A and B are shown apart, each in its own frame.
Chain A
């Protein structure tokens, strides 16, 4: 037993666990696994309600308001309905892959929460490579979407999956470069250490990084205006066209679990995570996650869907150069010691840099042929 304990203690920073915490590693593991599953499922139901009601409000509709008080039980009713539906598998489908795809897509969305802190040190595993783990794990869910697209043997499913890979490969670069800016300032890859380092929320120190991460994150999880892989008017429902019943419910769950995960990562990296006055840390965290998710709903109802070639052009001609600029400027500021000494100067300079860069590059973007790939 000595070796396994040695190794686990090396991987998981146990200093963050209070000494009066009952039980050892396995109790810690069991407790947080249950908490994470409960948290994700509850939050998914909550955000589905927020999205449907909020979107309806923005579009001058009522939204679901019949089931329970204010329509609060609508997600429950939908869940029960979809569980009772018939499970139809196409005749020509690759049965094993078709069956496995929702599971492979769902596991990473849940695994991301293992390193997200709900309070100071209140997390499943305080990995010292935390954010790298998040980026690595979230790239696995693409494989699940591929399997769905391929296993259905339907051309719309395949097209949806191929659009997805194009989007993920392109948008991962600005996403990671935006994270690097935060890592430079906080000086750690551990999400808990990043929150501890945020005496000033990083959205003020990294406004451009926040915008880039938000846009690239929305594209990664295929939320509108980047929801091309399930563009209803073009390719039916994209990769999950041939899914029904429980398996469709899994994909629906994945979609919102990923949205909650990206909101949680944004809240942790840029909004100070669990930090805040008066309220308990976990409540601050939940509030921030919901605020970020609400911003996603807002952009979804406001912006029109972009075309597939515009999707690529936006990533490579706009987000990518901007993220390089952001990284370069942040690196210079960190070298000059600004994050610790001249915080207010850094906030003002970075907001000015963001405004100028966005304005100038938008003009340049038009000169570069707007959405066209060929110049």
Chain B
């Protein structure tokens, strides 16, 4: 019972880990915005 009370919920563990948050905060916009956006621009056919 005491163990259960002391267990920190997973979500709180995530929120208490600044470096995991840093990783998420860099990776998500880098993939969704920059990498995806740059790939789209890079795939534009060059005019001849």
Task: Note whether A and B form a binding pair.
Answer: no
Q: Which residues of B contact A (CB under 8 A)?
A: none
Q: Which residues of A contact B (CB under 8 A)?
A: none
